[in-house]
Amino acid sequence: MTPASQRPTPTTAPEEPPAEAGGVRSVQRALDILALLTEDRPLIAIRDIVAATGLAKTTVIRMVQTLEQSGLLWATSSGYMAGPGLWRWAHLARRSWELPPETQRMMRELAARERETVNVYVVRDIVRICIAQQESPQPLRHVVHVGDELPLWGGASAKVLLRNASDPLLERVARSSPAGEGHVRQLREWIDAATEQGYAVSHGEREEGLSAVAVPILGRSGTVVAALSLSGPTVRFTEDRVATFVKELQAAAAQMNERGFEHPLGSSY
């Protein structure tokens, strides 16, 4: 019999990651693949996915096949395109997030009257998402597409949307800014000023030469659920024009508030 002192020491097998961790990772990878499809690149090949994600080719093939079976991708002779299964999700998203006709008409009239772009933003984590827009009729205008994500560390809409933000959220927003964590103090000053005034203004904070004016849209509980803004070239946002923009935006937001503006938008209409 081998003496105990000479017996090999048992080794502990590495702990397996929880099953759900692998599942979440797979979901994220699938979403990363779908995110490679854009208006500029409506088709992707396996080699493109491998290069963009760094995943093994065999893994990519398995995931693409799963997405194709679910109708989320569609195979063509040139590559993979968005599948018809996405139509159902797109339809549901549109029904949930599209503003009612009356509000859309109000935004069109506001853009035509003030000749600047009208946007509605909501918060998602440390970004704001454009959920509705009416472009300015002028050749030189500010355009953000519906669905685009913009940072919360600057801009008139951000100052309005962060009114009820917690300290941890503000710290995370600040860390995402060019100024880093020290930006928290400036954010708080902007938020306090916007809360006191009932509106916010920005000039070149996120992008040089771009200005905006924003007011809050309130839910039934009185909390800020969205921001309504006018944006355009700074040269057109003079002091007098800003004052007019504020009045116009507040009048439009008041109509939305009276109807009970909730998040998601469609739930209260």
Rounded mean pLDDT of 199-219? 94
Comparing CA positions, the residue from 214, 263, 258 lying closest to residue 102 is 258
Output the pLDDT for position 240: 96
How much is the pLDDT for 19? 42
For residue 126, which amino acid is it? I
Q: How many CB atoms lie within 10 A of CB 67?
A: 18
What's the rounded Cα separation, in Å, for the pair 64 and 224?
Answer: 40
Question: What pLDDT score does 9 carry?
Answer: 42
Average model confidence (pLDDT) across the chain: 86
DSSP 205: S
- The yes-or-no verdict on residue 120 having pLDDT over 90 is yes
Count of residues making up the chain: 269
**Rounded Cα gap, residues 131 and 150, in angstroms:** 12
pLDDT over threshold 70, residue 140: yes
What average pLDDT score do residues 145-161 get? 93
Tell me the one-letter amino acid at 24: V
- Is the Cα torsion angle 197, 202, 206, 210 positive or negative in sign? positive
Question: Domain 19-85 carries which CATH code?
Answer: 1.10.10.10
pLDDT at 154 over 90: yes
CATH topology of domain 98-268: Beta-Lactamase (3.30.450)
State the pTM of this model.
0.72
Q: For the chain, which residues make up each domain, given as ranges?
A: 19-85, 98-268
DSSP state of 101: H
Does pLDDT of 23 surpass 70?
no
Predicted local confidence at residue 261, as pLDDT = 59
Asked whether 164 and 224 are in contact (CB, 8 A), the reply is yes
The pLDDT-based confidence of 96 (bands split at 50, 70, 90) is low
What CA–CA distance (Å, rounded) separates 96 from 261?
A: 13
Q: Which whole number is the average pLDDT over 91-102? A: 74
Per-residue model confidence (pLDDT) at position 221: 78
| For range 42-56, the mean pLDDT | 94
